[in-house]
């Protein structure tokens, strides 16, 4: 009886899982992957591209993020060639929308601010030096 319940639970839990797989879209001359698309097979059997990764020639991750209908969506991450986080930014419909942060190569915050549909929000950006000292809060005036 316990085996039947376990089997039904496994079927329900794992049978409803979405399957994600990667496809190498381009390679460096060395054969190392350069751009990789992330695909998802959903319960209906449909396949969609839901993300991408891009690499440096040595195989270190350069950037990664989600896609929706071919546009950047959600949080994207960008890295220095040494693997340290360089930048993270929220996207909506392919436009920067939400919090954005950039870091120095030592990992300290360089700036932090917010965008609304690719425009900087007023009074939202703070800048820091490489030691972490807050340099200023700016007043950005964009239309």
pTM for the structure as a whole: 0.75
14 confidence band (pLDDT: 50, 70, 90): very low
DSSP 81-124: TTS-EEEEEEEETTEEEEEEEEE-TTS-EEEEEEEETTEEPTT-
Domain 2-137 in CATH 3.40.50: no
92 confidence band (pLDDT: 50, 70, 90): very high
Domain boundaries, the chain: 2-137
- The pLDDT assigned to 68 comes to 86
Average pLDDT rounded to a whole number, residues 48-75: 91
């Amino acid at each position: 009886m316990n085996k039947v319940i376990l089997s039904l639970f496994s079927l329900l839990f794992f049978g409803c899982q979405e399957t994600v797989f990667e496809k190498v879209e381009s390679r460096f001359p060395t054969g190392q992957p350069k751009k990789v698309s992330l695909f998802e097979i959903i319960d209906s059997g449909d396949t969609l591209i839901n993300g991408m990764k891009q690499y440096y020639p040595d195989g270190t991750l350069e950037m990664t993020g989600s896609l929706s209908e071919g546009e950047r969506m959600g949080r994207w991450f960008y890295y220095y060639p040494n693997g340290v986080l360089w930048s993270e930014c929220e996207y909506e419909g392919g436009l920067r929308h939400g919090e954005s942060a950039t870091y120095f190569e030592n990992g300290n915050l360089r700036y932090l601010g917010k965008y609304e549909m690719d425009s900087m929000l007023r009074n939202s950006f703070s800048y820091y030096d490489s030691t972490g000292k807050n340099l200023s809060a700016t007043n950005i005036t964009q239309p």
